[in-house]
Structure 1
Amino acid sequence: MAATTDIGIDLGTSSILVYAKGKGIVLKEPSVVAYDKDADKVRAIGEEARQMIGRTPGNIMAVRPMRQGVITDFLITERMLRYFIQKAMGRRAFRKPRISICVPSGVTEVERKAVEEATYQAGAREVLIVPEPVAAAIGSGIDITKPCGNMIVDIGGGTTDIAVISLAGTVVSNSVKISSETFDQDIIRYVRKTYNVFIGEQTAEAVKIRIGSAYPRAEEKTMEIKGRNVITGLPATITVSSDEIRGALAQTTNQIADAICAVLEKTPPELASDVSDRGIILTGGGSLLDGMDELIQERTGINTVTAENPASVVALGTGQYREVMNEFESQF
């Protein structure tokens, strides 16, 4: 069982991924908890709870205990972590795990401590906090221990983390509270304002995945969506185009590009030159928005690529962080 006692957790706003040493990603589920207020009980966690969003009776709340990479409900986060750790390790695990867990680069010391404390309460024997961009870089296959600049942009479910990394540390970074969840909210707002139709989070996410884009598409796509007319209160069906959705997302996608440019402006010249040569790497589920890499490349003039399996790289890097750092420190 020794192989599974080292695990890495990507505790995201929208999903949680668990990496077990020697096994890879062993669990990926939405970070949602269905909580019964009347009975003061957790009714469901993960995928089962996600399916309840917008469909629960008044006494049951489908809650996300993480918001923008920060714990908003400590007890529910602890219960959720405990459940996922046990599920990932299996019932035969008799030893408490050593856990590496990542946090956005912009969190405060208090927020960082809250994540650490929740992880201990959930059953960890040892906790290591990993900055999200560093984890993303390791998971993308970058050797962060070399003295050269690498730029990582991690567009997660709650925050976008931008960092220039060299010699196993972050040189310049910025964390903005914009994410793939912001894209969903932009779509909800646009449909409501333009068509007087209210749609839920799951519908908005489906629109984003199927026809959403950050950069003009070669051919326009359309999609039929169902919602509720805000005036009559009756069900309504409308058709939206990819051009409309790109317009709805434009402010947010441009804010991400602006934040990247701001980090580049603060980057020391030698490292900026490295980034220019090596390119920008996009990670996180939000980087899967069609044309995101093209938009950033156009705005910065730097070759931009999306990592392979971008939604999993933070969990992979978090799980491998301890080994990478031990190896790095042994060189000195």
Structure 2
Amino acid sequence: MFDKIYKLISNDIGIDLGTSNTLVYLKGHGIVINEPSVVAVNIKTNQILAVGEKAKDMLGRTPGHIKAVRPLVDGVISDFEVTEEMLSYLINKADKMSKKFARPRVLVGVPSGTTNVETRAVYDAARSAGAREVFLVEEPMAAAIGIRLPIKDPVGSMIIDIGGGTTDIAVISLGGIVKSKNLKIAGDKLNNDIITYMRDEFKILIGETTAEMVKIVIGSALPGEYMETEVRGRDL
């Protein structure tokens, strides 16, 4: 009975907690938040000043004692308190998009192969951030369900999930992950390689945002047609 009542007065929220960006899904509304996993912190007072886009916009425009912190490294929590603040901000922002008032149920994706300690840290952070119930799912499984692969069939389906800090590779069959591998090479590393290439080959310094654009516009895992794009940077 109580479950039926809670369904009427609370939200179901899904969170893709990434090293670079975090996406939030609100049931019935779709993806409602896509913001950088960045928190601006006053290192003198340890005060949280901004989260997400607002924190990213503060970079380079604030005094030296205000730093941008990425609370996740290689897909796992490196700063519990900052992660809790970021999750609280995201959950509250998503929750306000509907008229339901009870604390939400939250599903959080975690990289495959995370330890019990790392998984517990995500669970505790989400609970402390205001979730009524917390459910965890391995990211390759969530991706497979999202693209409607036949995960329960007696066949193997391979998922390669390239994030910002980690790449998850998993083979899924009969409703479970048969084999998985987690690599610490992902989108951020590709961005850094593009920045290094531009510096070494053309003596031009570009930022992370520009490198990300180049990767998306002309990057390819397979050889294909010649493509080009124009970028601006600072001469070295």
TM-score by length of 1: 0.64
The percentage of aligned residue pairs carrying the same residue is 53
Deviation string 1:224-251 (CA, Å, 9 cap, x unpaired) is 321252xxxxxxxxxxxxxxxxxxxxxx
1:53 aligns with 2:59: yes
Tell me the residue number matched to 1:23: 29
The structure carrying a bigger helix percent of its residues is 1
- RMSD across aligned positions (CA): 1.9
The structure-2 alpha-carbon separation of the partners of 1:218 and 1:133, relative to structure 1 and needing over 3 Å to count, comes to same
Tell me the residue number matched to 1:183: 190
Tell me the residue number matched to 2:13: 7
The alignment partner of 1:82 has SS state of: helix
1:172 aligns with 2:175: no
What residue ranges of structure 2 are gaps of 5+ in the alignment? Answer: 1-6
Structure-to-structure mapping, 1:27-42, within 5 angstroms: 27-42=33-48
Tell me the residue number matched to 1:163: 170
Structure-to-structure mapping, 1:1-332, within 5 angstroms: 2=8, 4-90=10-96, 92-227=99-234, 229=236
- Give the conservation status (yes or no) of the 8 Å contact 1:3–1:22: no
Tell me the residue number matched to 1:255: none
Letter of the structure 2 residue corresponding to residue 156 of structure 1: G
| CA–CA distance in structure 2, aligned partners of residues 227 and 216 of structure 1 | 29
| CA–CA distance in structure 2, aligned partners of residues 104 and 199 of structure 1 | 30
- Give the conservation status (yes or no) of the 8 Å contact 1:4–1:22: no
The structure whose RCO (Cα within 8 Å, separation 6+) is larger is 1
The alignment partner of 2:230 has SS state of: strand
Residues matched between the structures, number: 229
The structure carrying a bigger strand percent of its residues is 2
- Give the conservation status (yes or no) of the 8 Å contact 1:211–1:223: no
User: Displacement of 1:186 after TM fit?
Assistant: 0.7
TM-score by length of 2: 0.89
Letter of the structure 2 residue corresponding to residue 7 of structure 1: I
The alignment partner of 2:112 has SS state of: coil
| CA–CA distance in structure 1, aligned partners of residues 140 and 212 of structure 2 | 24
User: Displacement of 1:34 after TM fit?
Assistant: 1.3
